[in-house]
Chains A and B, each alone.
Chain A
Amino acid sequence: MDSTSQNTYHDTVVIRLIQFSVFWAVAAMLAGVWLSAELVWPTIDFGQSWLSFGRLRPLHTNGIVFGFGVSALMATAFYSVQRTSHTPLFLPKLAWFICYAWQVLVLLGGLSLLAGYTTAKEYAELEWPFDIAITILWVCFALVFFGTIANRKIKPIYISNWFYGALIIVIAMLHIVNNLAIPVSLGKSYSLYAGAQDALVQWWYGHNAVGFLLTGGFLGMLYYFLPKHAERPIWSYRLSIVAFWAFVYSYIWAGPHHLHYNSIPEWVQSLGMAMSIILLAPSWATMINGIMTVSTAWEKLRTDPALKFIVLSLAFYGLATFEGPMMSIRSVNVVSHFTDWTIGHVHSGALGWNAMITYGTFYFMVPRLVGRELYSTRLANIHFWLALAGTMLYIMAMWAAGVSQGLLWLSVDQIGELSFSFKDIMASMTPYYLLRLVAGIIFLSGTVLMGYNLLMTLKGQHAVKVNVPAVDPAYGVTA
């Protein structure tokens, strides 16, 4: 464990969180690959309930979001908040506690899902004891993060910290409100909300988990690590601030687009749709800011394999944040809803944006954290092409499958009866699911390569001690 000296950054905890994050990425993506194989060969659950689609699927999503995603966000938040505040982490022992306790929580939570304990709320499947544990750990995370900012030696609070801060505050709010429930036993609770109200609260949570965790949190990562990679300041700092407030304001309204043509008032659906379309503006403002920052630093691509991941992640961020508002339009949604197009959309974000920017960031951080070159640039380059090919194949397969499904189950004959049965439609999807399985294997193998590459880079190394630099008096807190 690194010393508690006031003059060096606490980076060992960052390394540990990165290791856990990579572990969960491999484990949860493996679950995803298995799930996609089950859609092709349904009998490979071998009659075991814990291997069934219904139990493995939340393990996949929770493993990616809470295991891979949150561990990566904690690692990058701890790394960047120290450097942008010119002060070591506040309560470093608490940071270590969060680091390990979070992994225990994801592990036990995952096992409880396999055992069949679930609230049946998407992305909030964990039962109430885990929800309370998440809340406590999240408050600890907030203490370390905001405590470090409060201790800062530099007056301005850099934009990445605004995004990480929004992540912490809004996720706390969403998690607590959506998981309010009446427990009836240790493993079962009932939501405090009923019927359509429950659905609205759930999708207010569900969509903003995507918004503030998978978008906002990762934008924090982008705003710190992209300028670092490029060795350039962000193209327009003012645009980043405008985009932040516009993003925070408009995202929170967009949830009802998950409930189009459902039993919620039509005006609520229209409001959700309108706010989803407005959301395109702040999303693309950030994309343009990122692309313009990197466009002047093209020489770095010669020496930095990680920058390619970030460049491409911006392209997929642009796609996903355009596709989302478009799919929220009701006349598009009537075809796309309940089809694999939605799954493709989620993965263009999760693989193309979240995973790629995290990979780029890890390739950047790990060599710097231990003070040595990356074990293999060649492996990182191979990983880049595997990640790109896997993502493209995944999206294309799901577009074709989704549009076919949407068309088929809306087709009616002359007397208005459905032309095709659900069972027949699903049976005809096998070839696309096979393509998606191949895509998943390609993407997973890239992630495994990265795990090996980072492991070899870290092997036998310790975190480099980085002293807190002196603050320019013009920007000091007392200035």
Chain B
Amino acid sequence: MSSDIHSGLLFRSLYEPSAAFKELASAEVEVPSVFFKFSLWLVLLPPIFSLIGAANFGWRIGAEEPLMLDDQSLVLVSVGYFLVLIFGLFSTALISSWMASTYGASASLGKHLALITIVGAPLAIASIAHLFPDVLINVLVLIPTMIWSMYLLYKGIPVVLDTPPERGMLMASSLVGWLLVAAVSLLGISMGLWTAGVGPLLGV
């Protein structure tokens, strides 16, 4: 058994996910090493892309004129985006390891964090679409990517966490339930913040 994960693992997970999952399954992984080697850099991508895109072009949300935010709002939104992603990553990994005993899966938090990082990696990379801050372009790029990420989740859980595929399917579905709730919470929290005056200026 190798003591740590190989630094090329994340890259391989993008084009050879099955092999990457097998490698991860046989590795001993620690939370700090996964986080600082992989997760942190990926989580930084979406806020940086959106900061650059929104500062230069403004969000096009369907109207003729793009929505330009002032610098202070932009930084606030980008930092918020980063913190939300960090929260999403760790909460999903924690929930996943909490669920593990129900589904007879491995409970090593490092493995869960690594798995969630691999599952989220395509989305983090596809967030390059934020450089073109047009809601429609982002929807068109991110929906197929999200479907690919869901496929990785269903495929990865039984291999990485060493549980039968059927039990893995149930666990993946439970996690999808959590992720859907998290996504809609993010929408709700954003609405609440906008209404309270953070971000775009609304007439409320």
Closest chain A CB from B167 CB (angstroms): 4
Q: Is A308 an interface residue (CB 8 A)?
A: yes
Interface size of A by CB at 8 A reads 56
The answer to whether B147 touches A392, judged by C-beta atoms less than 8 angstroms apart, is yes
Distance to closest chain B CB from A286 (angstroms): 13
A329 touches B188 (CB 8 A): yes
Across-interface contacts of B191 in A (CB, < 8 A): 331-332, 334-336, 403, 406
> Chain B interface: which size bin?
35 or more
A404: CB under 8 A from chain B? yes
Residues of A within 8 A of B200 (CB): 407, 411
Segment with Cβ contacts to B, from A158-166, A170-178, A309-317, A370-378: A309-317
A residues near B48, Cβ cutoff 8 Å:
none
Query: What is the bound-complex CA distance between A400 and B102, given in angstroms?
Result: 35
Annotate B130-147 by CB proximity to A: 1 below 8 A, 0 otherwise: 000001100100010011
Which residues on B sit within 8 Å (CB–CB) of A424?
63-64
Interface string of A289-302 (1 = CB under 8 A from B): 00110110011111
- Residues of B within 8 Å of A311, CB to CB, are 169-170, 173
Q: Which of A42-88 contact B (CB under 8 A)?
A: none
Q: How far is the CA of A302 from the CA of B169 in the complex (A)?
A: 11
A209 within 8 A of B: no
CB–CB A432/B169 < 8 A: no
- Chain A residues, Cβ within 8 Å of B180: 315-316, 318-319
A residues near B67, Cβ cutoff 8 Å: 407, 411
Q: Which partner residue on chain A sits nearest B104 by CB separation?
A: A298
Partner of B62, one of A298, A329, A428: A428
B204 within 8 A of A: yes
Contact A420-B188, Cβ < 8 Å, known A301-B170, A319-B180, A432-B136: no
* A326: interface (CB < 8 Å): yes
Contact of A425 with B by CB under 8 A: yes
The smallest C-beta distance from A383 to any residue of chain B, in angstroms, reads 16
Cross-chain contact A410 with B196 (CB below 8 angstroms): no
- Tell me the bound Cα distance from A404 to B195 in angstroms: 14
* A295 lies within 8 A of B62 (CB): no
Question: In chain A, what residue has the closest Cβ to B62?
Answer: A428
Whether the Cβ atoms of A319 and B184 lie closer than 8 Å is yes
Per a CB cutoff under 8 Å, which of A291, A298, A312, A431 touches B166?
A: A298
Query: Are B164 and A298 in contact, with the CB atoms below 8 A?
Result: yes
A residues whose Cβ falls under 8 Å from a Cβ of B: 287, 291-292, 294-295, 298-302, 308, 311-312, 314-316, 318-319, 322-323, 326-327, 329, 331-332, 334-336, 341, 389, 392-393, 396-397, 399-400, 403-408, 410-412, 416, 418-420, 424-425, 428-429, 431-432, 435
CB<8 Å pairs between A and B, sample of 25:
A291-B177, A295-B167, A300-B166, A315-B173, A315-B174, A315-B180, A319-B181, A326-B184, A326-B185, A329-B188, A334-B195, A335-B195, A389-B147, A392-B146, A399-B184, A400-B136, A403-B191, A407-B61, A407-B202, A411-B67, A411-B201, A411-B202, A424-B63, A429-B62, A431-B136
Residues of B within 8 A of A (CB): 61-65, 67, 102-103, 135-136, 139, 143, 146-147, 150, 164, 166-167, 169-170, 173-174, 176-177, 180-181, 184-185, 187-188, 190-192, 194-196, 200-204
Return the 9 tightest CB-CB contacts between A and B, nearest first: A428-B62, A412-B203, A315-B177, A301-B166, A410-B202, A319-B180, A298-B167, A331-B195, A326-B188
